[in-house]
Amino acid sequence: MRVLVIGSGGVGDAVARIAVARDFFDLLVMSDHDLARAEATVAAATARRAGESRLVAARVDASDAASIAALAREHGITHVLNAVDPRFVMSVFEGALAAGADYLDMAMSLSSRHPEQPWAEVGVRLGDEQFAAESRWRAAGQLALVGMGVEPGLSDVFARYAVDHLFSAVDELGVRDGANLVVRNEVGEEIFAPSFSIWTTIEECLNPPVVWEKDRGWFTTPAFSEPEVFDFPEGIGPVECVNVEHEEVLLMPRWLDARRVTFKYGLGDEFIGVLKTLHALGLDRVEKVRVGDALVSPRDVVAAVLPDPSTIGPRMTGKTCAGTFVTGTGLDGQPRGTYLYHVVDNEWSMREYGAQCVVWQTAVNPVVALELLASGAWSGTGVLGPEAFDAVPFLDLLKAPAPVGYGSPWGQDERS
């Protein structure tokens, strides 16, 4: 397996640090528009394993499918992993197809609102552009594994596991994401510093949330709707969660039978307040505005002035939790509620990998998936989500102690 990673920021850098300990690949090309950043990632990852020589750095334009295809062909790439913002999904997706390589991403092609009823009806859904190309990928005999991060990704694997092994009928597949992370400045004061790309966070949180119901299909709700307090495990505790647009709701119903699918994110009052203010001021806009002699995107300005998520790890404490709460009828015919989850402590991820916990938790899942594809435990053609594959090999490899697995256990919490 010869892998090209597009993007050497926080998640891409963590991918390299995790993958370098594994033997399933022959070449890992770390690319970025900033060659120095890709070179720094290669140096940091290579230093983690004596005698390592399988990693190289390259410059790439993620917005240019032809550039991506050319780089992939140059290195004989078999798999392209997209680790950049979702606005570049389609160019990376098309570049991989043109190069004859399989493709993985952690976020799907962007949505656009319904022109008349955005808070009730779906418009262009997340991933629609990619699924529209499904026949081309299948005809080429290539695989596009979409939404293979943590959420989406591991949360979808949990859903598949629950449907196959824990439930006879599912009422709701409810993804619930929460954390107790705190970031402080140089003098110890708590500051606002999102642990993931603010560009992506704005996209997810200010777009109309999507819900799936079996008798209704996909529909949207107002932003930050249906608040609920969810009690997260391993000391995180209760966090208020709200509806947010996310890929799982668009993926799970394609393969899994459930009456309802939702995604709720534990944002907290401060974060919601900041997002509402950005929206009120127009600072969430992607379209460029003129400032003096320059044209700038307000959202890009917000991203530029906030701390880079890849740099805040040393100043962050706490844990992050991703999981899927499944309710319905158990195999014994009785009502059942089970939360399948994965928790990462920032102190652990920084100590072991030099990566903050949110980007590490996102990065480990596509690496596990790549290893399963390399071994043949997972295989397929066309555009597929994580729930299209058997969950057991993934969950076993994720939790198995190193060097056999990745040494990152997941949990199962039974709830009434």
Query: What whole-number distance in Å separates Cα of residue 123 and Cα of residue 111?
Result: 7
pLDDT of residue 310 exceeding 80: no
Helix (H, G, I), strand (E, B) or coil at 79: strand
> What is the mean predicted confidence (pLDDT) over 242-253?
96
Q: Which residue bears the tokens 């009456």?
A: 259
Which amino acid type is present at position 254?
R
Closest CA to 160 of 251, 262, 265, 264: 251
Reported as a single tens digit per residue, the pLDDT across 349-376 is: 999 999 999 999 999 999 999 999 999 9
Does residue 196 or residue 18 have the better pLDDT? Answer: 18
pLDDT of residue 169 exceeding 80: yes
0.85 surpassed by pTM: yes
Peptide bond into 307 cis (omega under 30): no
Closest CA to 246 of 49, 385, 142: 385
> What is the mean predicted confidence (pLDDT) over 136-149?
98
Range from 161-175, 260-274, 329-343, 359-373 carrying the lowest mean pLDDT:
260-274
Q: Which residue bears the tokens 């989500």?
A: 385
- Which of the 8 DSSP states describes residue 153? B
Taking only Cα atoms into account, the Rg of the chain, rounded to an integer number of angstroms, comes to: 20
Structure token pair of residue 242: 């709200």
Bridge pairing between strands 294-296 and 289-291: antiparallel
| pLDDT at position 166 | 98
Q: Does the CA dihedral 228-247-304-57 come out positive or negative?
A: positive
Structure token pair of residue 258: 């459930």
Average pLDDT, the chain: 95
Query: What whole-number distance in Å separates Cα of residue 364 and Cα of residue 360?
Result: 6
Reported as a single tens digit per residue, the pLDDT across 89-127 is: 999 999 999 999 999 999 999 999 999 999 999 999 999
Does residue 259 or residue 312 have the better pLDDT? Answer: 259
Query: What whole-number distance in Å separates Cα of residue 219 and Cα of residue 239?
Result: 25
The Cα angle at residue 126 between residues 152 and 213, in degrees rounded to 5: 80
Cβ atoms of residues 42 and 56 within 8 Å: yes
Cβ atoms of residues 230 and 264 within 8 Å: yes
Structure token pair of residue 106: 């952690």
Cβ atoms of residues 121 and 210 within 8 Å: no
* Domains of the chain in sequence order: 2-149+360-415 (3.40.50.720), 154-358 (3.30.360.10)
Residue 21 has a CB neighbour count (10 Å cut-off) of 16
